Amino acid sequence: MRCTQPGCTGSIVDGYCDICGSPGAAPGGSTVSGTGGAAVSAVSVPTGQLSGACRQPGCTGSIIDGYCDVCGSPGAVSGGGSPGDAAGGLPGEEQGAPVSTITRGSSRLGSAAIGSQRATGSGSTITKRVGGGSRRLRSARLGAGLTQVPPTPQIDAAKAIMANPVVPENKRVCPSCGSPVGRGRDGQPGRTEGFCPKCGAQFSFTPKLKAGDLVANQYQVAGCLAHGGLGWIYLAKDKNVSDRWVVLKGLLNTGDADALAVALIEKQFLAQVEHPLIVEIYNFVSHDGAGYIVMEYVGGISLKDILKDRMRAAGGSYNPLPVDQALAYILEVLPAFQYLHDLGLVYCDFKPDNLIQVGDAVKLIDLGGVRRLDDDESAIYGTIGYQAPEVPQVGTSVASDIYTIGRTLLVLMAEFRGYQSTYVAKLPPAEDIPAFAAHDSLYRLVAKMCAPDPADRFASVDELRVQLLGVLREVVAEKQSGTALTSAASVLFEAPVVVSDALAWDQLPALRVDTTDSQYAWLSNVSADDPKERLAELKHPPAVTPEVQLARARAALQAGWAKSVNEVVNQMLTLDPWEWRAVWMSGLLALQQQDFKGAQSAFNAVYGQVPGELAPKLALALSCELGGEPDLAERLYKICASTDANYVAPAAFGLARVRAARDDVVGAVQALDLVPSTSRNYPESRRQRAELLYEAADGLPMLAQAMDSIERVRMDPVERAELGAKILTRALAAVTAQGANRRLLIGSIPADEPELRDGLEATYRTLAAAATDDRERYALVDQANDVRRWTLT
């Protein structure tokens, strides 16, 4: 039978076309399906129970839209099957639709033997592959592929239960005002229940649930896991869902029946939270007048416990996490915060206790304090030392969440003494934190996250994540030797332009255009090359946006119109005082006008706003080099060279200039050696190396190194010959004055007068042949004749 597919000339063999692989038409017009070629019959899909009482044993819920509003179980399926069990199709697949032939068609093609096929065919005794290449695929999970964080083992739920659930007296504080309560005196233990002597609020540190209690006729309590700000946290088994482990955590505002009802309604919005980095919320239940959130059990270890384990291993001394690991943890959890913020929620109480590591992943737990961004009435839950200082007055926000993330990061990577007292609302001096002293970008990152004014913090978690990732790259790079071999594209800056050993304002990285700007398309059509003509085109845009203003400033810079640049900068900063791109433009103008102190001020401000970017560091390094701050310039150039391959050449040239200026020839040569041979700037680095060694040469060995610098390097022949002539001339003078050293080669020429004269003569004649001016050619020929060795013929 011929294939019925349009344009196909194949035949149906065993139910499928031998050319295109399509199934043949079955008798009666039905579509062939399955390997045996059996026809698919039309089968009605069973429908589930859409309303009524839940039929799960012990559940008091109701079926709404096909699922129980208490246990979440699906309604009963009519017809005895389960949803999606219809023969011949997947759930949601239209019955009778043509079967896809893409996979079947491609499966006809031959495939090279690999894996078990290759092992069997070759007679190998290997039966399976263990480990191996999957490691490099998994390594990018925690640490973004830049660093490694030791995985943690899965913790058995039963072993996590507290044997003696008691809150230590030094941890007992009033849930309302934070004052110490329940403390012992005169040798008598403190009360676990009572009223705060300061504010009168009731407190209780006695577990409300005990092992064996059945909460909401579904969750059987196994014991206490921990005590938090909302009371005890319990481990339980879900008797309706295969005895899975769950966690019960108390709700805020459940002091009476009305408050309990309100609290349960308020927290229903957490049911919409569904993210792989956030603990899953299963249910909201009440028991004996108290409300509980039912959550997924996460069998890992909290970052707080990881810090405690490190402290015990260090003999009781605080042993913070390595900076790269601390950054890796925070980087990994940031998408969870952005997800919550996108839903209009704020987490409120982030701290090391609430981030769990499970294997090589993390999960954000404890959603008891999560609230809506527009919630101005419900209680706010936070922890002293982590909560933003403005929260008691103005409430929570995205900025207050970012503050808690910054404080958590600092606690993870440093011994942050006084974070709940002296430094409860500010950062300690940078010199008191070793991590800050070692990594200035890290200090600036945390300083922006924890800025006293919320408006000075990162505008979003996404913005924070970009900068934190850049800081992580820098921290990891500084731990390694050598220069960067890879580069990472910035979302804010283009790569630097390197056209020579010098670095000018217009060779610094350009700002990337914001493609979300409303005038992006219009700006793409502004194509005049002359900056003055371009300014004229930019004069009447459909709307004046930041990108239009930046385009004007750039064109004015290129035209040399300083007044116009200042006007644009002032206009932008008047509309948005946080518009760091305008400050960047003012820094470029200062460099152009050789106002190096002004450039330093501008680029330093930009650095503080985007601490993970290398462009401000390179610009600041140049400003410091030209403005009399060589030590700082050297430090910044080294950071750029070690972090990103695109920055190696300009940073290496800058390092060489700084070191050469203080007569550190060895250091300058080492800087030029940072440029890899694969770089297009390698020939220039070798030329500079030769020039440095030639100028500083105090004998034949350095002259030999100078000549070696340009050997076997692709460069302009005339430039090579000119530099070679200078080196050979000085070598000839040294041999004449100090004597020959035939074992030392200047390039390929022994350091002896006859050979050096021959080599120098040949070099001059090469230059004469390339000369375009007759007078210059004759002079070079005369020099060649003057230097040639004397002979009797």
243 labelled catalytic = no
Return the DSSP state at 22. Answer: P
Q: Say if CB 284 and CB 294 are below 8 A apart.
A: yes
DSSP string, 568-614: HHHHHHHH-TT-HHHHHHHHHHHHHTT-HHHHHHHHHHHHHHSTT-S
Q: Find how far residue 234's CA is from the centre of its chain.
A: 35
What whole-number distance in Å separates Cα of residue 141 and Cα of residue 145? 7
- Using CA atoms, how far residue 37 sits from 40, 43, 290, 714, in Å, is 9, 18, 61, 67
CB-based contacts of 133, cutoff 8 Å, min separation 6: none
Q: Say if CB 781 and CB 762 are below 8 A apart.
A: no
Residue 676 CB: number of other CB atoms within 10 A? 17
List the strands of the sheet with 290-296, edge to edge.
214-215, 219-228, 231-238, 244-250, 290-296, 281-287
Quick check: helix, strand or coil at residue 105? Answer: helix
User: Dihedrals φ, ψ of 468, to 5°?
Assistant: -65, -40
What whole-number distance in Å separates Cα of residue 240 and Cα of residue 124? 50
Q: Say if CB 301 and CB 152 are below 8 A apart.
A: yes
Q: Say if CB 215 and CB 237 are below 8 A apart.
A: no
Instruction: Count the residues in the chain.
Output: 793
SS3 content of the chain, % helix, strand, coil (to 5): 45, 15, 45
Residue 129 CB: number of other CB atoms within 10 A? 11
Residue 202 CB: number of other CB atoms within 10 A? 13
Report residue 412 as tokens.
Answer: 């993870």
Q: Hey, which residues does 74 pair with through a beta bridge?
A: 67
Report residue 536 as tokens.
Answer: 């004229």
What whole-number distance in Å separates Cα of residue 17 and Cα of residue 19? 5
Catalytic option among 349, 353, 401, 644: 349
Residue 27 CB: number of other CB atoms within 10 A? 7
Pairing label, strands 244-250, 345-346? unpaired
What whole-number distance in Å separates Cα of residue 310 and Cα of residue 671? 39
- Using CA atoms, how far residue 569 sits from 452, 530, 549, 566, 604, in Å, is 26, 21, 8, 5, 17
At 416, which amino acid appears? F
What whole-number distance in Å separates Cα of residue 29 and Cα of residue 39? 9
- Using CA atoms, how far residue 687 sits from 691, 707, 724, 751, in Å, is 6, 10, 11, 21
Report residue 644 as tokens.
Answer: 């990103």
What whole-number distance in Å separates Cα of residue 399 and Cα of residue 388? 8
What whole-number distance in Å separates Cα of residue 292 and Cα of residue 285? 5
CB-based contacts of 287, cutoff 8 Å, min separation 6: 209, 213, 215, 216
Taking the alpha carbons of 748, 754, 760, 762 in that order, is the dihedral positive or negative?
negative
Helix (H) or strand (E) holding 432: none
> Which contacts qualify for 49-56: CB closer than 8 Å, 24 or more apart?
49/74, 49/75, 49/76, 49/77, 49/78, 50/75, 51/75, 56/240
Please identify every residue annotated as catalytic. Answer: 349
